[in-house]
Amino acid sequence: MANEETRSQTDQNNVREGEARSGGPLGDSMRELVEAWQESGAWLRGVRAENWIILGLIVTLLALWEWVAGQHPEAIFPSLGETLNAFFKMLQDPRRDYFNAIGGTMQVYFSGLGLAVVLGWSAAALMGRLPLLGRVMKVILDFFANIPIIAFMPLFVAMLGLGPQAKIVVVLLAAFIVVTTSAQAAFEGVGRADEEAAMGLGASKLQAQLRVVWPQVLPQMLAGLRLGAAQALTACIIAEIYTAMTGLGGLLAGYGASFNMPRYFVTVLTALAIGSATAAVLRRLERRFAIP
Q: Which residues contact 261 (CB under 8 A, 6 or more apart)?
A: 74, 75, 76, 77, 78, 255
pLDDT at 15 over 50: no
Mean pLDDT of all residues in 89-106 = 89
pTM (predicted TM-score): 0.75
Summary mean pLDDT of the chain: 78
**In the chain, where are the structural domains located?**
2-70, 86-289
Q: What is the pLDDT of residue 204?
A: 61
pLDDT at 47 over 70: no
> Within 13 Å of residue 154, how many CA atoms lie on the same side as its CB?
1
Burial (Cβ within 10 Å: 0-12, 13-18, ≥19) of residue 111: middle
pLDDT at 274 over 90: yes
For the segment(s) 86-289, the CATH number from 2.60.40.10, 1.10.3720.10, 3.40.50.2000, 2.102.10.10 is 1.10.3720.10
260-270 confidence digits (pLDDT tens): 889 999 999 99
pLDDT at 87 over 80: yes
Which range, of 56-70, 133-147, 199-213, averages the lowest pLDDT? 199-213
DSSP 219-288: HHHHHHHHHHHHHHHHHHHHHHHHTT--HHHHHHHHHHHTT-HHHHHHHHHHHHHHHHHHHHHHHHHHHH
pLDDT at 115 over 90: yes
226-248 confidence digits (pLDDT tens): 989 998 999 899 888 887 678 89
AA letter at 73? P
